[in-house]
Structure 1
Amino acid sequence: MNIPEKIPFLSILIFVTTLYGSYKGIVSNKFIDKYLLSSEGVLFRKQYYRIISSAFVHADWPHLIFNMASFALFAFDFEKEQGILKLLLVYFSSVIGGSIFGLINNQRNPDYQAVGASGGISGLVFASILSSSPFSIILYIPLAIEIPDWVYAYLFLSISYIGMQMKKGNIGHDAHLGGAIVGIIFITLLSYENVGQRYLLALGLSGFNILLICHYFYRKGFNGFDIGRIFKKIKERRISVRQEAIVLDLDKILDQVYKHGQESLSERDRRRLEEISKEI
């Protein structure tokens, strides 16, 4: 194997790009708002790039560190063993799968937003485990604990399910389950012989993942994916926000007129007052 084949170029590129994008997002709300996953952005504004771009921004430093540590733990070795093409297909298909699952899971919430590489990393974790010989993973919590890879996989799914129930912040916990099932499917198609050696684990993880998803939707009361209802809720929210902005602007202008007279209004205030009068 020559030197270039030993260097995980794509893994390094994804790692560095995610660090940079996340740093920009953490220090700038405007930046993160532009690239995060949101129901309004994807479904209403047709900004489909958010399905992938949300994987390159994170909510905070702990979120970023945890995800990048998980990425480094699996991605570099996976690319060296399976190649750049398989990493490309597994990672980004899992990102897309996780994002779509998040949108479906939160279709009743027009304000849904999520960030993070959870879907891609989840798919990568399961693809790595299923395409490799059995190995152990050392966890520092805080003492070093060595556990088999299959135990780690089941713990990963269980913790992700708990995170879905808690729903804290904009972290896309539900993307873990969506990304996991996509990762399992793609690595099975791409490395059938390797996965075939661990087919019992593949079947077990797939079944457990599907069971968690079904149980979650059963408790939640899932009635199908109604995109019309989503559009209606988003439109209602946008109208409500616009009406609030009109009230605030009108109050500000009238307050200025009351204190300083109509002559004190700027040209901009006069235009805004005229716009409001047409909308009321």
Structure 2
Amino acid sequence: MRDIGAIGLGLILLNFACSYKGFSDPQFFERYKFEVDSILLHKEYGRLLSSGFLHGGWMHLIFNMLSLHAFSGLMEYDLGWRAFLLIYVAGLLGGNLLSLYLHRQHGDYSAIGASGAVCGVVFASIALFPGMEIGFFGLPFQMPSWLFGTGYVAYCIFGIKANRDNIGHDAHLGGALVGMVLAVLLHPSALKANYLTLLVIALPTVAFLGLIIAKPHLLLIERPFAKAEQRADTTVDRRFNEAKLQHQHELDLLLDKISHNGIESLSATERQKLEAYAKRGE
């Protein structure tokens, strides 16, 4: 592996800065995390990108950044900083878009982390450098990249289907697939040199995604402890109408308070709500 380049170092520093801000500022964290209703209902599409620079804790952040550090130098120096940055951003957005699709009926679903982007970089490396071996932190052995890629895809598919933990397996899988496809598009010669590895990794991924798009009921992603009748009536349109009515009610109360007592009577929290509604045009 080569030493880290300027773009890789910049991404790591940006992740540390944004994550640290999120650790100490809950409002900042809530404003920029991935959240289904905020994206679909309020059209806060920036969360698809900003959430990738927030993390849930120091271990989450450090593990992702160590992984990025391990692969970024190879990618940045061999592909150029523009291609490397493109793969990073595309992996981040691809992973979050897949999460958004799979959880589109779960308005309270939220996520954070650079894992989709990092998976994009890792799997782009697998696609472009067929002789590469991948090791694990603290372990004295390495494994062929094709074996790691195949095992990781199987793990992600199982994790999405089982839905037994809080890991964003869908973002990992989406980022990995986007990174691999983009790497091949940027360097088509990799397809000839490494076609077997690409097929072994890509075919089950594409087949699984095609299956859940064609037959989404097979996935059965559910929110833990939610009642069946609640899950059956959580469409985006319904949530949008409910949210709109709630916001209108809150706005009416604020305006009524202003008309009776003046704008000075609003608390700091109420002023923030009024400003937020004004920005949304409500």
Provide TM-score, normalisation by structure 2: 0.75
Identity across the alignment (%): 29
Task: Give the whole-Å Cα distance in 2 for the aligned partners of 1:55 and 1:73.
Answer: 18
CA distance in 1 between counterparts of 2:164 and 2:98 reads: 15
Unaligned runs of 5+ in 2: 222-233, 254-264, 271-282
1:200 to 196, 214, 234: 196
Question: 2: distance between equivalents of 1:154 and 1:240?
Answer: 47
Give the superposition deviation at 1:151. Answer: 1.1
Change (3 A) 1:231 1:13: farther
Gaps of 5+ in 1: 1-5, 223-227, 250-266, 273-280
TM alignment of 1:17-96, pairs within 5 A: 17-96=14-93
SS of residue paired to 1:12 = helix
Q: Give a deviation string over 1:194-234, Cα, whole Å, max 9, x none.
A: 33200111122111212343566452259xxxxx9313224
Matched residue, 1:219: 218
* Alpha-carbon distance in structure 2 between the residues aligned to 1:161 and 1:204: 14
Q: Which residue of 1 aligns with 2:257?
A: none
Q: Relative to structure 1, is the Cα distance of residues 136 and 119 closer, same or farther in structure 2, using a 3 angstrom cutoff? A: same
SS at structure 1 position matched to 2:136: strand
Aligned length: 240
C-alpha RMSD of matched pairs (Å): 3.0
Change in 2 beyond 3 A, CA 1:12/1:48: same
Once the two structures are superposed, what CA deviation does each residue of 1:88-142 show, in whole Å capped at 9, x if it has no partner? 22111111111111100001101111111121111111110111141212224x6
Q: Offset at 1:74?
A: 1.1
The partner residue of 2:172 within 172, 176, 179 is 176
Deviation (angstroms), 1:28: 2.2
**Of the two, which has the highest radius of gyration?**
1
Please, what TM-score do these two structures have when normalized by structure 1? Answer: 0.75
Q: Aligned pair in 2 of structure 1 residues 221, 160: CA closer, same or farther (>3 Å)? A: closer
Inter-partner Cα distance in structure 2 for 1:12 and 1:29 = 26
